[in-house]
Structure 1
Amino acid sequence: MKLVHVFDAYCGWSYGFAPTLAELLRRHADLRVDVVSGGLFTGPRRVPIREFGNVQAANAKISELTGVSFGPGYARLIADGSFVMDSEAAARGVAALRQTAPDRIVDLAAALQHAFYVDGLSLSDPATYRAVADAAGLDSDSVVDAFAAPGPAAAAKADFTRAAGLGVNSFPTLLAVEGDRITPLAVGHATADRIDQRLHALTAAS
């Protein structure tokens, strides 16, 4: 069995889910996890953040349910409502980090979301990937070069296709995959304890 974590780096609920996923993997260190970008803000949804209504109220709800904090850098970035969340660029960045350190992608994806939601760094800016790579002890030149290369761009599009093929249209979604059997473990929000219960039930039924 492996897990497939379909998220979007610009999704607040995905940011809120990161500590839950980290806790789950602390309990189940043997589980393999594929991290797949879902493509939340692409095409006609790639618009200034002000067009999404009361973002602050939504973030307050995320904080209430998950315990994550939204930092002052993020507040400054979105203050005038003009910032555009581009999930294609973010997915390229995820793919570049995944290519560089595939075994660390869960932590790196969380670090990328921290860079946006706490530090207020744009996920379209190569400098953001340099900062994340440096903090993680990776070769930052390689990560930045990969961000602009054709491979991660193609990988981002493949992620979007894979997410759609899995029937995922809400982020985050955590799936258990075993052969042809795909079982949702969490959609949007769930505690590590609740996911654990679902995993145990799934294992018992096997």
Structure 2
Amino acid sequence: MKLVYVFDAYCGWSYGFSPTLAELTRRHPELPVEVVSGGLFTGARRVPIREFGYVQGANARISELTGVDFGAAYERLIADGSFVMDSAAAAHGMAALRQAAPARAAELAAALQEAFYAQGLSLSDAATYRAIAERTGLDADAVAAAFASPTARAAARADFRRAAGLGVEGFPTLLAVDGERVSVLAAGHATTAQVEQRLTALAATA
């Protein structure tokens, strides 16, 4: 069995789920984690953040439920409402990080979201991926080059297809995949204890 984590780097609820995923991977090193980028802000939804009037209220709710912090640098980045969240670019970046260290994909997904939500860095900027690579001990030149490559673009498109093929309609979604059997462990907010209960129930019916 493996875990499949479908998230969007620009999704606040995915950011809020990061501590739960980190704890699960710590408790279950035997379970590989596949990280799949979703396409939350693509096409017609790739617009200035001011058009999503619910952002600040949603962020307050996410903080309340999960304990994650939205940093001052992030607040400055979005303050005038002009910032555009581009999930395709973020998915290119996730593909580049994942290529550099496949076994650390869950950790790197969290680092990607921290770069935006804590440090106020754009996920469309190659310099952001250099910074993440340096902070996580990866080859910064290789990651930056991969971010701009056709390979990363193809991987992002494949991720979007993978998410749709799994029937994922919202982020984050955590799945347990065992052969042809796909079970939802979390959709949106969930605590570590709740996911553990669902894993235990799955094991009992295996």
TM-score range, shorter chain: over 0.9
Partner of 1:49: 49
| Counterpart secondary structure, 1:176 | strand
> Are positions 1:124 and 2:124 aligned together?
yes
Partner of 2:102: 102
Which structure 2 residues correspond to residues 1-206 of structure 1 after superposition, within 5 A? 1-206=1-206
**Aligned equivalents of 2:186, 2:125: Cα separation in 1:** 31
**Aligned equivalents of 2:138, 2:183: Cα separation in 1:** 34
Moved more, 50-59 or 124-133: 50-59
Q: CA deviation at 1:54?
A: 2.8
**Aligned equivalents of 2:54, 2:8: Cα separation in 1:** 19
**Aligned equivalents of 1:57, 1:199: Cα separation in 2:** 32
- Give a deviation string over 1:66-91, Cα, whole Å, max 9, x none: 00000000000000000000000000
**Aligned equivalents of 1:191, 1:125: Cα separation in 2:** 32
CA RMSD between the two structures: 0.5
Structure 2: 5+ residue stretches without partners: none
Q: CA deviation at 1:192?
A: 0.5
**Aligned equivalents of 2:26, 2:145: Cα separation in 1:** 32
Q: CA deviation at 1:29?
A: 1.1
Runs ≥4 residues deviating over 2 A: none
**Aligned equivalents of 1:175, 1:96: Cα separation in 2:** 23
- Code of the aligned partner of 1:166: L
**Aligned equivalents of 1:10, 1:127: Cα separation in 2:** 17
- Code of the aligned partner of 1:200: T
**Aligned equivalents of 2:132, 2:121: Cα separation in 1:** 10
Q: CA deviation at 1:105?
A: 1.1
Q: How many residues align?
A: 206
Q: CA deviation at 1:27?
A: 1.1
Q: CA deviation at 1:25?
A: 1.1
**Aligned equivalents of 1:126, 1:105: Cα separation in 2:** 18
Q: CA deviation at 1:198?
A: 0.4
Q: CA deviation at 1:205?
A: 0.5
Q: CA deviation at 1:26?
A: 1.2
- Code of the aligned partner of 1:137: G
| Counterpart secondary structure, 1:69 | coil
**Aligned equivalents of 1:18, 1:54: Cα separation in 2:** 21
**Aligned equivalents of 1:137, 1:29: Cα separation in 2:** 20
**Aligned equivalents of 2:132, 2:157: Cα separation in 1:** 22
**Aligned equivalents of 2:25, 2:128: Cα separation in 1:** 26
Q: CA deviation at 1:187?
A: 0.2
